[in-house]
């Protein structure tokens, strides 16, 4: 399997597209800035949100028990899944109970994490993603490249082509208004005919046993209110203590995500409709283990706004697919190693450690600190790439022997002066996309020896 | 051991020491006129607010702007000259052809143009989503400054389903071009009384 630098290199073969991707995401970031700067209490809201989430992590087991009992009292059926396989099996068994072979789904990053679609397809269930961006990537047989903007890597012409092939729109039509309308008609038929709908969960309230789903398109509601059975899949960290805490989270979520004051729909599901059913699946899948890593547990505070991706200079120029995990970008790079440190050993290195992710995070996750800490863990555990290992061994030996350090500096400057082609070639990764600097005539040490006052 | 016990046991072992919940304070807003802010925000998110003096004004407006609509539904008795009035639709699939729906909202939120609607105000939960256009009757005096006051107002009230709706359904998934009317209503009108 290819790692982040290899996949990023692939993405970077089309320079114009990389620039466009970069600018589009930066534009979303500036919208977020306009919204956050308009609220004088922004920093206090971030602090409150962070503290509420800290409290949640310290009481997660009790809040889950409380949520379960209140949800049950509301008539919601509660399931527990230890891992992705169990989650997927529960969804399949609920479909089988209904005799359903089709399901409509709204956005849920958890089901991406569990690879639910592939599993259901293998079991002959037809799954339709109903979020427009998710439907686009589903038709293209790709995973989403961004948690909020699933097809942000696609040009409208490519979407027009996909719709021409699958929905029968006229060839060459790439007008967003027209294509969105075509998708509306195509998906409306799905909403009207599916007996089972699956949604994600943005927040679940321990105190009341209800859960909240936020969308702009209205697709979660169209699915849930027209189906006989509504399945909600939820990571266990999505719990919040009380309803009034939504007053904090709903003020910061959409502002951070897309620069909107709030999503169009914030739907609170408390009880099923008469004669219908709501099932909620509480999924662990490594979260309870993650909670036991003090340096990394803060990542479980994430509310999935995507602000860290939009601001990240590496994400913007390498694309979501280069992270080869369900959740891309800075937050994905600190979540994924918890699940599989070896498979995702490259991700904490996919960062400049500039810290912009931590600065925009609405729940104050120390993202760049965790990236740095993951690097240390990964090297210690022996999962760093061999190039990095060799490089670090050499650096260690050079930096710990002053005479060797001085000699190698001299040799380096001499080579760069006399045989620049040794460093100015494609074998040197630093030479790609940039010129090597002029070597200085002398080292700082030499200069200092000459100039210090005797 | 069941997955429930396994998860809960691991959480108990791994969760950090108790951290207290913060006190949630509300913040004074620079714009004191809630109605003005509500109207401006609604416009910004693709909806529109219309000040009316009573149901007569609403009927005139509906006739003028939605005369062509195939089916107009409402829960508000006074709108019977222009709308089909029914308290409950057991099968939401029958609502597929609704052109305009007019319902009441509990209250509005100035900072984001949202209105809070609970299922006791809806003849079917699917209606505000499946309808082609949505109109909501909102009393001006109910508009609160932010979501924090909104949840103070909701308090511990009971409902089966409740939703904040802020403007028409929308998407920007294709190259970040904003399109109104993704799956839900293509437009949203708020009658302010």
Question: Residue A282: helix, strand or coil by DSSP?
Answer: strand
Q: Is residue B5 part of a domain?
A: no
- pLDDT tens per residue, range A221-277: 999 999 999 999 999 999 999 999 999 999 999 999 999 999 999 999 999 999 999
pLDDT, tens digit, for every residue of A158-167?
Answer: 999 999 999 9
* Nearest alpha-carbon partner for A79 in A233, A288, A290: A233
Percent of chain A at pLDDT > 70 equals 100
Asked if residue B140 is part of any domain, the answer here is: yes
Paired with A10 in beta bridges are none
Which member of A176, A221, A258 has the closest CB to residue B177? A176
**Chain A closest-CA separation from residue B111 CA (Å):** 7
Q: Which residue has the tokens 């099923």?
A: A272
Minimal Cα distance from A27: which residue of B? B176
Chain B contact for A142 (CB, 8 A cutoff):
no
Residue A426 has pLDDT above 80, yes or no: no
Convert the pLDDT of each residue in A409-419 to its tens digit: 888 888 888 88
Structure tokens at B177: 């071009």
- Of A114, A118, A144, A146, nearest in space to A284 by CA: A114
| The token pair that represents A232 in the structure block | 């909600």
Domain assignment present for residue B88? The answer is: yes
CA-wise closest residue to A347 among A332, A359, A366: A332
What pLDDT, on a 0 to 100 scale, did the predictor assign at position A85? 98
Q: Which residue of A has its CA nearest to B157?
A: A208
**Closest by CA position to A354, among listed A385, A315, A390:** A315
| pLDDT tier, A10 (very low <50, low <70, confident <90, very high otherwise) | very high
The Cβ-side half-sphere exposure at A167, using a 13 Å CA radius, reads 25
CATH no. for residue B121?
Answer: 3.40.50.10420
Residue whose entry in the numeric block shows the structure tokens 């036991």: A292
Tell which A residues from 49 to 78 touch B, by Cβ distance under 8 Å.
51-52, 54-55, 57-61, 64-65
pLDDT along chain B (193 residues), means of 10: 96 97 92 96 97 97 94 97 95 97 98 98 98 98 98 97 98 94 97 98
- How high is the pLDDT of residue A454? 66
At A348-397, the pLDDT tens digits run 999 999 999 999 999 999 999 999 999 999 999 988 887 778 888 888 88
Q: Which H or E run contains B139?
A: none
Partnered with residue B171 across adjacent β-strands are B179
Say if B182 falls within a structural domain: yes
Mean pLDDT, residues A168-174: 96
* Residue A152 contacts B where some CB pair is shorter than 8 Å: yes
Tell whether A24 lies on the interface with B, counting CB pairs under 8 A. Answer: yes
Q: How many structural domains are present in chain B?
A: 1
Cβ of A184 within 8 Å of Cβ of B14? The answer is no
Q: Of B3, B93, B164, which is closest to A262 when you measure between CB atoms?
A: B164
Can you read off the two tokens belonging to residue A63?
A: 């809040």
A446/A452 Cα distance (integer angstroms): 10
CA distance A200 to A208: 18
pLDDT at A430: 75
The pLDDT of residue A108 is 96
Residue B6 is predicted with a pLDDT of 97
Inform me whether the C-beta atom of residue A102 falls under 8 Å from chain B C-beta atoms: no
ipTM score for this prediction: 0.98
* Residue B174 and residue A132 in contact, taking contact as beta carbons nearer than 8 Å: yes
Q: What are phi and psi of A327, to 5 degrees?
A: -110, 115
- Compute the distance between CA of residue A131 and CA of residue A105 in angstroms, rounded to an integer: 8
pLDDT at A429: 75
A238 closest CA partner among A413, A53, A12, A375: A53
Count of C-beta atoms within a 10 Å radius of residue B134: 28
- In 3D space, the residue among A273, A267, A284, A195 whose CA is nearest the CA of residue A233 turns out to be A284
Cβ within 8 Å, pair B21-A51: yes
Ordered structural domains, chain A, with CATH: 14-288 (3.40.50.10420), 295-380 (1.10.1060.10), 401-451 (no CATH)
Whether residue A264 and residue B124 make contact (CB cut-off 8 A), yes or no, is no
The DSSP 8-state label assigned to residue B94 in this structure reads G
pLDDT digits (tens, 9 = 90+) for A183-218: 999 999 999 999 999 999 999 999 999 999 999 999
Contact A74, A209 (CB under 8 A): yes
Q: Is residue B44 part of a domain?
A: yes
Q: Express each pLDDT in A62-114 by its tens digit.
A: 999 999 999 999 999 999 999 999 999 999 999 999 999 999 999 999 999 99
State the Cα torsion A200-A203-A208-A210 to the nearest 10°: -20
Task: Tell me the pLDDT tens digit for each residue of A128-162.
Answer: 999 999 999 999 999 999 999 999 999 999 999 99
Residue ranges making up the domain that contains B151:
33-192
CA dist A150 and A131 (Å) reads 9
Q: Which residues pair with A233 in a beta bridge?
A: A281
Element containing residue B149 per DSSP (H, E): helix B147-154
3-state secondary structure of A419: coil
Please list, in sequence order, all residues whose beta carbon lies within 8 angstroms of the beta carbon of residue A109, skipping any fewer than 6 positions away.
Answer: A147, A200, A304, A326, A327
Residue A293 DSSP label: -
d(Cα A71, Cα A196) in Å, to the nearest integer? 20
Q: Between B44, B161, B167, which is nearest A268 by CB?
A: B161
Rounded CA-CA distance B102/B131 in Å is 10
Q: Both tokens of residue B7?
A: 């998860």
Q: Is residue B91 part of a domain?
A: yes
Q: What is the DSSP letter of A284?
A: -
All residues of chain A having their beta carbon less than 8 Å from the beta carbon of residue B10 are 284, 288-289, 291-292
> What size, in residues, is chain B?
193
Report yes or no on B17 lying in a domain. Answer: no
Q: Which of A219, A221, A291 sits opposite B11 (nearest CB)?
A: A291
- Residues A197, A127: Cα–Cα separation, whole Å: 10
Residue B134 lies in a domain: yes
CB atoms within 10 A of CB B183: 28
First to last CA, chain A: 60
Residue A182, C-beta contacts closer than 8 angstroms, at least 6 positions apart: A163, A167, A169
Q: Which two tokens stand for residue A386?
A: 């061999």
Structure tokens at A364: 């104050």
Longest C-alpha distance within chain B, in Å?
66
- DSSP helix/strand/coil, B45: coil
d(CA A152, CA A232): 25
């Amino acid at each position: 399997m290819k790692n982040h630098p290899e996949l990023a290199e692939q993405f970077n073969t089309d320079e114009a597209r990389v620039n466009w991707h970069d600018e589009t995401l930066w534009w979303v970031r500036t919208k977020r800035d306009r919204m956050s700067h308009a609220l004088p209490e922004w920093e206090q809201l971030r602090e409150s949100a962070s503290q509420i989430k800290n409290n949640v992590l310290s009481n997660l087991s009790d809040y889950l028990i409380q949520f379960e009992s209140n949800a049950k009292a509301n008539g919601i059926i509660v399931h527990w899944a230890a891992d992705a396989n169990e989650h997927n099996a529960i969804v399949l068994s609920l479909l089988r109970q209904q005799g359903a072979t089709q399901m409509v789904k709204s956005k849920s990053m958890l089901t991406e994490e569990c690879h639910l679609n592939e599993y259901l397809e293998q079991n002959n269930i037809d799954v339709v993603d109903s979020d427009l961006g998710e439907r686009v990537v589903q038709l293209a047989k790709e995973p989403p490249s961004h948690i909020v903007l699933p097809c942000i890597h696609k040009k409208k012409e490519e979407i027009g082509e996909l719709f021409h092939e699958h929905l029968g729109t006229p060839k060459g039509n790439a007008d967003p208004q027209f294509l969105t309308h075509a998708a509306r008609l195509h998906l409306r038929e799905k909403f009207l005919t599916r007996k089972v709908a699956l949604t994600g969960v943005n927040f679940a309230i321990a105190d009341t046993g209800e859960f909240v789903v936020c969308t702009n398109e209205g697709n979660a509601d169209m699915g849930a209110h027209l189906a006989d059975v509504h399945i909600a899949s939820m990571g266990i960290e999505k719990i919040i203590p009380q309803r009034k805490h939504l007053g904090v989270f709903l003020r910061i979520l959409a502002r951070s995500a897309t620069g909107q004051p709030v999503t169009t729909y914030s739907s609170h599901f408390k009880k099923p409709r008469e004669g219908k059913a709501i099932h909620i699946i509480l999924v662990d899948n490594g979260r309870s283990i993650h909670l036991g890593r003090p340096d990394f547990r803060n990542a479980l505070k994430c509310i999935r706004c995507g602000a860290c991706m939009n601001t990240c200079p590496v994400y913007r120029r390498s694309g979501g697919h280069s992270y080869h995990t369900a959740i891309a970008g800075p937050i994905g790079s600190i979540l994924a190693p918890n699940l599989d440190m070896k498979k995702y050993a490259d991700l904490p290195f996919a960062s400049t450690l500039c810290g912009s992710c931590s600065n925009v995070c609405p729940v104050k996750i120390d993202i760049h600190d965790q990236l740095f800490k993951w690097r240390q863990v990964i090297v210690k555990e022996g999962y760093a790439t061999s190039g990095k290992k060799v490089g670090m061994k050499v650096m260690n030996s050079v930096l710990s022997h002053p005479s060797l350090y001085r000699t190698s500096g001299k040799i380096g400057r001499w080579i760069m002066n006399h045989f620049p082609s040794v460093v100015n070639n494609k074998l040197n990764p630093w030479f790609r996309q940039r010129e090597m600097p002029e070597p200085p005539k002398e080292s700082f040490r030499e200069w200092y020896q000459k100039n210090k006052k005797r | 051991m069941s997955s429930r016990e396994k998860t809960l046991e691991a959480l108990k072992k791994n969760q950090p020491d108790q951290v207290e919940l913060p006190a949630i304070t509300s913040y004074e807003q620079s714009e004191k006129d809630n109605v003005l802010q509500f109207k401006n925000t609604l416009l910004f998110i693709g909806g529109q607010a219309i000040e009316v003096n009573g149901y007569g004004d609403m009927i005139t407006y509906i006739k003028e702007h939605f005369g062509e609509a195939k089916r107009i539904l409402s829960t508000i008795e006074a709108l019977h000259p222009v709308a089909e009035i029914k308290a409950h639709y057991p099968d939401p699939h029958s609502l597929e052809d609704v052109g305009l729906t007019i319902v009441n909202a509990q209250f509005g939120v100035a900072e984001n143009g949202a209105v809070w609607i609970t299922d006791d105000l809806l003849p079917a939960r699917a209606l505000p989503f499946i309808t082609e256009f949505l109109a909501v009757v909102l009393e001006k005096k109910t508009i609160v400054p932010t979501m924090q006051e909104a949840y103070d107002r909701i308090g511990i009230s009971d409902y089966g389903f409740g939703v904040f709706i802020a403007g028409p359904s929308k998407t920007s998934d294709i190259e970040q071009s904003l399109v109104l009317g993704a799956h839900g209503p293509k437009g949203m009108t708020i009658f302010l009384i």
